[in-house]
């Protein structure tokens, strides 16, 4: 028996409420709307008139995996969770520590962590348009906005003391490659894909990506943000310095952060396409961003980076699309996730053409350009 979504949500809301009372014993606590997520349980909460976001992770796995029964039946999950939240190094405790590192030695803007109690992390809300909103409004500024976000992150993560702190609080759960290999390992990976309506295409895509990721490049040990989606950069002052949400700092391949940005931006473009002119403007901006990121490298360096970027982009899109496709009916999906499910055919076509290019052409820059062309075709079809 898989855990019942209603039971999981009721438990999570109860945990949020208890944690708030634990942290602020005399406060009046009012639970607000739940933010749909396939990963964590996220809910707005009002504590004595102070608005906060509460976040709870069950066993550090995604809600989709949990509801699909990956951690066993519900009574068993509850037992494991009781141990998990009290042992040091639970996922959201590491996230709290990472927010401190980012705000402290890295000097980046992040939400203030208001408190952490028994697996629940409370953060102050960040208000303002996201990177996705800004690009949606001004597609011609795509390259500049992507550059701004990536530069800001690189500047912060390059500060002295960041790497040593990350070493102690890594969140490897968000790694594109580790997620890909975990999801699509051998037999269970096949079963997983067979439950989607696009099993044949996705199986081919996964096989090609497994090959490509082995030759992409040896893993390097840069510190990366880890979950740098266009929804995780919020601009409270228009387009000044962004506030970064949902860190997953870890050592990883340097192209990982740009790859996640490109992956999610292109996915949104295919699944919720704007006017044709704007599709071209955004993809032109992504191409210019890739060129700017490699402008100072020699040819070999540029090719290694572009290849990593392309492989990780396509792996991340495969990861998230299959997560959305296998979400159980009781799990509410955010509008962009629901859109990805209804436009899955177009996304699969893009993945199919692009992974075919990846395995047939040697030249990294040609492959990158072909992939962007495939994205345009998918968005405009
Ligand atoms: N402190 C915050 N300020 C503003 N929005 C937030 C905050 N925390 C969470 N959110 C909103 O909730 C969404 C999900 O929270 P997030 O921390 O990204 O959890 P998940 O691990 O499920 O991705 C975010 O993308 C954002 O829209
Ligand atoms: Mg998130």
Average pLDDT over residues 227-255: 94
Same structural domain, 33 and 157: no
Number of Cβ within a 10 Å radius of residue 137: 10
Residue 219 has pLDDT above 70, yes or no: no
Please check whether residues 75 and 162 belong to one and the same domain: no
Res 345 pLDDT > 90 = yes
Most ligand 1 atoms within 8 A of CB, residue of 227, 245, 249 to mutate: 245
User: Is-contact 41 66, C-beta < 8 A?
Assistant: no
> For the chain, how many structural domains are there in total?
2
Which of 123, 154, 182 is the endpoint of a domain?
A: 123
First to last CA, the chain: 40
Question: pLDDT at residue 218 above 80?
Answer: no
Pairs from 328-334 (Cβ < 8 Å, separation ≥ 24): 328/2, 328/5, 328/64, 328/67, 328/68, 330/4, 330/5, 330/6, 330/67, 331/5, 331/38, 331/63, 331/64, 331/67, 332/34, 332/36, 333/36, 333/38, 334/35, 334/36, 334/37
Q: How much is the pLDDT for 191?
A: 78
How confident is the model at residue 239, as a pLDDT? Answer: 75
Name the burial class of residue 272, with classes exposed (0-12), middle (13-18) and buried (19+) by CB atoms within 10 angstroms of its CB.
middle
- Collapsing DSSP to helix, strand or coil, 23 comes out as helix
Q: Is the pLDDT of residue 257 over 70?
A: yes
Helix 162-169 to helix 91-103 angle (10° resolution) is: 170
Query: What does the block give as tokens for 257?
Result: 């952060």
> Do the Cβ atoms of 281 and 346 come closer than 8 Å?
no
Query: Which residue among 83, 105, 123 closes a domain?
Result: 123
Segment 286-298, tens digit of pLDDT:
999 999 999 999 9
Cβ contact 109:237 at 8 Å: no
Please give the distance, rounded to the nearest whole angstrom, from the Cα atom of residue 37 to the centre of ligand 1: 9
* Smallest-distance ligand from the CA of 110: 1
Q: Is the pLDDT of residue 358 over 80?
A: yes
Instruction: Tell me which H or E stretch contains 132.
Output: helix 131-137
Q: Average pLDDT of 234-248?
A: 94
Q: How far is the CA of 246 from the centre of ligand 1 (A)?
A: 6
* Residue 194 pLDDT: 83
How many CB atoms neighbour CB 17 within 10 A? 17
CATH label of the domain that carries residue 240: 3.90.1200
pLDDT at 188 over 80: no
Could you tell me if 108 and 204 lie in one domain? Answer: no
Pocket of ligand 1 (CB under 6 A): 35, 37, 39-40, 42, 53, 55, 111, 123-126, 231, 245-246
**DSSP secondary structure letters along 79-131:** HHHHHHHHSTT-HHHHHHHHHHHHHTTT--B---EEEEETTEEEEPPP-S-BH
Same domain, 107 and 239: no
* Whether residue 342 sits in one domain with residue 214: yes
CA dist 238 → 52, 132, 134, 234 (Å) = 22, 13, 9, 9
Most ligand 1 atoms within 8 A of CB, residue of 37, 226, 229, 244 to mutate: 37
**Do 208 and 269 belong together in one domain?**
yes
Phi, psi of 223, rounded to the nearest 5 degrees = -85, 130
For strand 50-56 and strand 250-252, is the pairing parallel, antiparallel, or unpaired? unpaired
- 344 and 309 belong to one structural domain: yes
Task: Calculate how far, in angstroms, residue 55's C-alpha sits from the geometric centre of ligand 2.
Answer: 10
Domain identity same for 20 and 155: no
What angle do the packed helices 299-325 and 276-294 form, to 10 degrees? 140
Task: Give the pLDDT confidence score for residue 173 in this predicted structure.
Answer: 86
Sign of CA dihedral 189, 194, 198, 204: positive
pLDDT of residue 221: 80
Confidence of residue 238 (pLDDT cuts 50, 70, 90): confident
Residue with the smallest CA separation from ligand 1 atom 11 is 35
Output the pLDDT for position 362. Answer: 83
* Nearest alpha carbon, ligand 1 atom 23: 39
Give the number of the atom of ligand 1 that is nearest the alpha carbon of residue 123.
1
Q: Determine which helix (DSSP H) or strand (DSSP E) holds 233, and give its type and residue range.
A: strand 233-234
Q: How far is CA 286 from CA 83, 190, 231, 232, 259, in A?
A: 44, 33, 17, 18, 11
Same domain, yes or no: 63 and 171: no
For the chain, the helix, strand and coil percentages under 3-state DSSP, each to the nearest 5: 60, 10, 30
Contact assessment for residue 20 and residue 47, using Cβ atoms and an 8 Å cutoff: yes
Q: Which domain holds residue 28?
A: 5-123
Q: What is the CA(359)–ligand 2 centre distance, in A?
A: 31
Q: 105, 123, 141: which is the final residue of a domain?
A: 123
**pLDDT tens digit string along 21-64?**
999 999 999 999 999 999 999 999 999 999 999 999 999 999 99
Atom of ligand 1 nearest to the CA of 232: 25
Instruction: Please state, rounded to an integer, the average pLDDT across all residues of the chain.
Output: 94
Co-location of 158 and 289 in the same domain:
yes
Cα of 53 from ligand 2 centre, angstroms = 12
Same domain, 115 and 181: no
- Ligand 2 centre distance from Cα of residue 267 (Å): 16
Co-location of 217 and 316 in the same domain? yes
pLDDT band at 120 (very low <50, low <70, confident <90, very high): very high
């Amino acid at each position: 028996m898989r855990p019942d979504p209603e039971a999981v949500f009721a438990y999570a809301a109860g945990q949020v409420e208890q944690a708030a009372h634990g942290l602020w014993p005399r406060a009046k606590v009012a639970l607000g709307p739940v933010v749909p997520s396939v990963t964590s349980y996220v809910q707005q909460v009002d504590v004595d008139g102070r608005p906060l976001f509460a976040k709870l992770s069950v066993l550090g796995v995604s809600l989709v995996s949990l509801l699909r029964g990956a951690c066993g039946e519900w009574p068993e999950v509850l037992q494991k969770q009781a141990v998990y939240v009290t042992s040091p190094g639970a996922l959201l405790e590491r996230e709290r520590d990472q927010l401190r590192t980012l705000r402290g030695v890295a000097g980046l803007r992040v939400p203030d962590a208001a408190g952490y109690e028994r697996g629940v992390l409370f953060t102050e809300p960040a208000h303002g348009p996201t990177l996705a909103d800004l690009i949606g409004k001004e597609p011609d500024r795509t390259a500049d906005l992507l550059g701004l976000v990536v530069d800001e992150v690189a500047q912060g993560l390059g500060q002295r003391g960041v790497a040593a702190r990350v070493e102690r609080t890594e969140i490897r759960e968000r790694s594109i490659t580790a997620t890909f290999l975990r999801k699509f390992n051998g037999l269970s990976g096949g079963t997983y894909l067979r439950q989607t309506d696009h099993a044949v295409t996705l199986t081919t895509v996964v096989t090609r990506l497994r090959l490509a990721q082995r030759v992409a490049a040896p893993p390097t040990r840069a510190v990366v943000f880890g979950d740098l989606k266009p929804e995780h950069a919020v601009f409270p002052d228009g387009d000044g310095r962004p506030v970064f949400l949902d860190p997953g700092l870890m050592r990883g391949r340097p192209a990982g952060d740009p790859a996640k940005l490109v992956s999610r931006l292109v996915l949104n473009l295919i699944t919720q396409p704007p006017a044709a002119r704007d599709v071209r403007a955004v993809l032109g901006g992504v191409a210019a961003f890739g060129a700017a990121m490699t402008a100072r490298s020699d040819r070999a360096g540029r090719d290694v980076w572009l290849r990593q970027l392309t492989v990780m982009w396509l792996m991340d899109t495969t990861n998230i699309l299959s997560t959305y496709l296998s979400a159980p009916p009781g799990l509410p999906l955010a509008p962009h996730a629901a859109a990805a499910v209804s436009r899955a055919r177009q996304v699969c076509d893009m993945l199919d053409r692009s992974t075919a290019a990846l395995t047939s052409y040697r030249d990294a820059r040609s492959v990158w350009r072909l992939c962007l062309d495939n994205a345009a075709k998918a968005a405009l079809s």
